[in-house]
Amino acid sequence: MTPTSDRRLIWGTALTQFIGWGTLFIPFSLVLQPMEADLGWSRWELTGALTVGLLTSGILGIPVGRWVDRRGGRAPLTYGALLGAAALAAWAAVDSLWVFYLIWIVMGCAHATALWIPAMAVVVALARQPTKAIAGITFITGFTGTVFIPVVAALVEGLGWRGALLALAALQLLPAVIAWAQFRGVPPPTPPTAIAKGDALRLAMRRPAFWGLALCFAAHVFIGVGLGSHLVPLLREHGLPETSVLLIVALHGPTQVAARAMLYFAGNRASMRLVGMFSAPLLVVALLWLAVAPPTFVWLLPFVACWAVADGLMTIVRAAGTAEILGRDGYGAITGALTLIGVLPRTAAPFVLALAWEAAGGYGPVPWLLAAVAALGAAAFVLAARDRGPAPA
């Protein structure tokens, strides 16, 4: 690989992920209410399909990761993108609830094969500077919501939810073309003996670092999904004006992108251990500030700044830090296992926080609960960062 091919890898991977997340994940929340009105299904019935899709994706993480470790990423990234396009087209025609659930099982397969795990496994295997490459990719994909939320909303408004999904299905064909062309002529990897025997994941799971990372990343995804689903009503309950609420939420994206940009320019000079030991406690600080700050826009700015920086950096630590701490051998299977462990926290977070809200009669204890989860995740990352050797045979 050369620096030029690293740039090609960054741009090719970033485009497949930018479009893939924009078409396969973001539309769900934007077509939810139109589907309710059109089909008469309840919100619980609809969101249950999303949960099934997330569970399917998590379960497939390990076998897909092993495939990439042994045979490369061209097939899963290409055919996964095509599968996603087919699922979107089927979704546009759905009129039966049980079929909708089947479609989301297929969509979960597309998520597992076309999105984050195989893409990052390819980058870690091929890039000369994987940390810089991952930072560059996440910098670009950080704008996915900024671009696709208004685009999908406009498509739903102009074409209806079925027409919007058909348009997105056509767009989702582009990542398949990019992935097929990007890895044309690239030979599959020659896996080390441990990978060939399927031992890389087993050896990694013997190390305290694996379980430290698993707990840290599970805490991170619980907080991210929980805040994503409850931050707006939490701020409204505090009595902030609507413009302040929306601006605080909107500041998260640009701030995390700026943090990723700084890490990109730092390149391989940045140790992922040190970045994680900075960003994981910073998330604790952010949530404690949310718990005690007066409910005014100015006083909540430090919260959103610390939260966004920590969130932006931890996304990179999740990908590049796993390679730095656990090694590149068997990276796909290892990250698949880490993702599988995080599936339950990811799917449970909105419900757990809703139960806390209902039990307390308000959002008062929620920031404290999230801060405790963040503190547990930070301690777990310290455990992982201090483990510098493989498990004994």
pLDDT in tens, 102-115: 999 999 999 999 98
Q: How far apart are CA 324 and CA 101, in angstroms?
A: 38
Question: Do residues 170 and 85 make contact, with C-beta atoms less than 8 angstroms apart?
Answer: yes
When pLDDT is cut at 50, 70 and 90, the band that residue 196 belongs to is low
Half-sphere exposure of 92 (CA within 13 A, CB side): 22
When pLDDT is cut at 50, 70 and 90, the band that residue 4 belongs to is very low
Question: Do residues 165 and 31 make contact, with C-beta atoms less than 8 angstroms apart?
Answer: yes
| DSSP3 helix / strand / coil % (the chain, rounded to 5) | 85, 0, 15
Q: How far apart are CA 326 and CA 343, in angstroms?
A: 21
When pLDDT is cut at 50, 70 and 90, the band that residue 3 belongs to is very low
Domain 196-386: CATH superfamily is: MFS general substrate transporter like domains (1.20.1250.20)
Same fold, 3-190 and 196-386: yes
- Domain spans of the chain? 3-190, 196-386
pLDDT > 70: percent of the chain = 93
Q: What is the pLDDT of residues 121-159, one digit of tens each?
A: 888 888 888 888 888 888 888 888 778 888 998 999 999
Answer yes or no: is pLDDT of 295 > 50: yes
When pLDDT is cut at 50, 70 and 90, the band that residue 391 belongs to is very low
Q: Could you tell me the two tokens for 386?
A: 């201090």
**The domain 3-190: what is its CATH number?**
1.20.1250.20
H or E element: which one contains 202?
A: helix 200-205
pLDDT > 90: percent of the chain = 40
Answer yes or no: is pLDDT of 5 > 70: no
Q: How far apart are CA 220 and CA 198, in angstroms?
A: 28
DSSP per-residue codes, 263-327: HHHHGGGS-HHHHHHHHHHHHHHHHHHHHHS-SSHHHHHHHHHHHHHHHHHHHHIIIIIHHHHH-
